């Protein structure tokens, strides 16, 4: 289970005063003026833990195939929950603020999510059923592509999308997002 605690602390100074302003205040100015922190920080933690999970799987697979398989399935479940959290909770809030429902950064991330989910499924099948040397090579290839896509995807979210989301959302919305996060992660 990915731990999500204390992420809301330590970083709220004069932010609440800003929250009291009208919502239809010129959006771009509000984005530029607001501090950028909580969700970016949270998502970095999540990404880091997912990366570690994947790294452990790769280390283990040459030593203990059964354990590696279990670890991969846990990683897959966590990655799917992370994507679900982004798509069902975070992205819609951003889209509502910006009006970018069908184009823009969240749509690009949703497209990459579909690719990641396909690769996770493909890799799970490959791991569960690989018997021959050719199967193993196919597995390694999917794994490599998944890692590359994961890296690029995380970088885009951490450096561009989440700082933007942090600037666009109100503090109260982030609190709602946090509460919903727990439901999404089954804790």
Query: How many residues sit close enough to Fe ion to count as binding (CB under 5 A)?
Result: 2
In this complex, which beta carbon is closest to Fe ion, that of residue 38 or of residue 157? 157
Window of 7-15, 66-74, 90-98, 153-161 that interacts with Fe ion by CB under 5 A: 153-161
Long-range residue pairs from 77-81, CB within 8 A, at least 24 positions apart, any chain: 78/1, 78/2, 78/49, 78/50, 78/53, 79/50, 79/116, 79/120, 80/117, 80/120, 81/2, 81/184, 81/185, 81/186
- Least Å distance between CB 164 and Fe ion? 14
* Angular region, 6: left φ>0, alpha ψ -120 to 50, beta rest: left
Pick from 20, 46, 21, 13: nearest CA to 177: 46
- Least Å distance between CB 109 and Fe ion? 5
- Least Å distance between CB 47 and Fe ion? 6
* Structural contact between residues 106 and 91, judged by C-beta atoms closer than 8 angstroms: yes
Window of 55-63, 142-150, 152-160, 164-172 that interacts with Fe ion by CB under 5 A: 152-160
Contact letters (x/-) for Fe ion, 78-97, by CB under 5 A? --------x-----------
Residue 157 interacting with Fe ion (CB under 5 A): yes
- Least Å distance between CB 53 and Fe ion? 14
Window of 51-59, 94-102, 119-127, 156-164 that interacts with Fe ion by CB under 5 A: 156-164
C-alpha–C-alpha distance, residues 147 and 118, integer Å = 13
Indicate the length of the chain as a whole number.
187
Residues that bind Fe ion (CB under 5 A): 86, 157
């Amino acid at each position: 289970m990915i731990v999500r605690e204390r992420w809301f602390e330590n970083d709220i100074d004069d932010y609440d005063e800003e929250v009291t302003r009208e919502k239809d205040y010129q959006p771009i100015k509000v984005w530029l003026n607001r501090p950028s922190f909580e969700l970016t920080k949270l998502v970095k933690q999540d990404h880091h833990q997912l990366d570690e999970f994947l790294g452990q799987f790769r280390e283990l697979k040459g030593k203990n195939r059964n354990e590696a398989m279990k670890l991969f399935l846990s990683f897959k479940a966590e990655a799917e929950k992370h994507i679900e959290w982004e798509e069902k909770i975070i992205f819609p809030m951003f889209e509502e603020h910006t009006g970018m429902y069908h184009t823009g950064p969240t749509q690009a991330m949703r497209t990459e999510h579909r690719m990641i989910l396909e690769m996770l499924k493909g890799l799970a099948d490959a791991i569960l059923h690989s018997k021959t040397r050719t199967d193993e090579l196919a597995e390694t290839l999917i794994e490599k592509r998944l890692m590359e896509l994961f890296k690029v995807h995380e970088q885009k979210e951490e450096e561009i999308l989440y700082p933007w989301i942090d600037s666009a959302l109100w503090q109260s919305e982030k609190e709602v997002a946090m509460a919903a996060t727990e439901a999404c992660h089954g804790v």
